[in-house]
Structure 1
Amino acid sequence: MPGPVPDSWPCLIGTELNAAVRIISRERPDIRIARVLPPGEPPSPPPQDQVCVIIYNNVGPLPNTLVVVPPAPYIG
């Protein structure tokens, strides 16, 4: 991958969840696991030898939507 490899995505806060997952997958194709959690829930340890991204989400402003909420998605 040319250029810096992101390990967090603060610019995705407020983005619709599925769109955020697509962006992260495009920027980091080496990540195969996304852990999507409700606000405040601590992530469990990732499987051994796996890289995953933690994404917190909550109900969006439109019906049946989820949006990314703080903290920003991060490798963890």
Structure 2
Amino acid sequence: MKSLNDSLREELNAILKEDEFSNLIEKEKLDLNTLKKAFDILLKFKSNPDLKDKARGEFENYLINHLKINN
């Protein structure tokens, strides 16, 4: 049986494959693995509403640090 997180990941993958988003990802030269890892960070904190600010901060930090390292 799939977990909720697995279902949410499948939904994200389906959305990322839609023409509108895949064109934007290609145009902006975004890394799909980075987007998926950042999404996993949000999933990590989703079960506790008190941690929504922490989730947002961790998500932002992950993306910022990844971009700093790779640029």
Same fold (TM over 0.5): no
Q: Which has the higher helix share?
A: 2
> Who wins on radius of gyration, i.e. which is larger?
2
Q: Which has the higher strand share?
A: 1
Q: Which has the higher contact order (CA 8 A, sep 6+)?
A: 1
**TM-score of the two chains, using structure 2 as the length reference:** 0.30
